[in-house]
Amino acid sequence: MRHLPQAAAVAASALAVSCTAAAVPALAAPATEYVALGDSYASGVGTRDYFPDSGDCKRGPKAYPQLWADEHGAAKFSFDACSGAVTDDVNSGQLGSLSDSTTLVTISVGGNDVGFSKTMESCLLGSDDACDKAVAAGEDKARGELPAKLDTTYANIRKAAPNAKVVVLGYPRINDLGDCGIPGYSATKRKRINEGADALDEVISGRAEAAGFTFADPRQVFDGHGVCSDQEWINGPSNPLTESFHPNVDGHAKGYLAVLDQATGHSSATIRR
């Protein structure tokens, strides 16, 4: 699924104009061929705005991959992330756009492999003890099963895109620990879910480093903007339910985009609080 940003056309027009003007020659920046892979945190679930032709994958114009492609005028952009994806889905259905000419790949995956949705359901509807057990089960999967799955996925990406910079984006801590108006969503539960996110990011960052990829950690940027904060960048319980506990428009534009800008060397992007 490709959504070539308008900025590419603008850049082409600007180049044509510059060629007719008497100016000091400058080195042209290399064209970026960008492929975005991963799950709902990459596709844009939570922003409530999706490309009609993306179907159940729910890829949207306000998701950080599309924002980055638009902001930096990617010469070619393939948006292949899909809501609900696990590592097996990436390997079987998202790698077809990668090639020797791909220069940038982003991926966020692993949350669904360790049972993200079921864990959040248990924590929202169950007791503190039930939440603790659900998070612990996810941590066990993260440490026991996920490393091999990530190693396979990352190796397949490198094989298909041998010349690309690969940025692995982690997951934010979902919750703020202050006062919260969500019935039954105790501070104990919120703290335990955040600990689970830390455990997951620890595994993902380790495997990304082992693969020679860049790990982009969103946790510090999102701190103070989780569920139950005054300025939420992550949705709380929502209608429809699929929007719940995913970054909203601000989470992508002010959080993930800023983190990706830094990881790709565009540190001039402003991280807004």
Active site residues: 40, 246
Strand ranges (DSSP E) for the chain? 33-38, 76-79, 104-108, 165-169, 214-216
262: how many CB neighbours lie within 10 A of its CB? 18
d(CA 150, CA 72): 28
Question: What share of residues in the chain are helix, strand, coil (percent, to 5)?
Answer: 50, 10, 40
Edge-to-edge order in the sheet of strand 76-79:
76-79, 33-38, 104-108, 165-169, 214-216
Residue 242: its H or E element: none
Residues 6 or more apart whose CB falls under 8 angstroms from that of 240 comprise none
53: how many CB neighbours lie within 10 A of its CB? 9
Omega before 240 within 30 of 0, i.e. cis: yes
Residues 6 or more apart whose CB falls under 8 angstroms from that of 160 comprise 95, 98, 99, 102
**Alpha helix locations (H) across 161-266?**
187-211, 219-222, 249-250, 257-263
- Between strands 104-108 and 165-169, the pairing is parallel
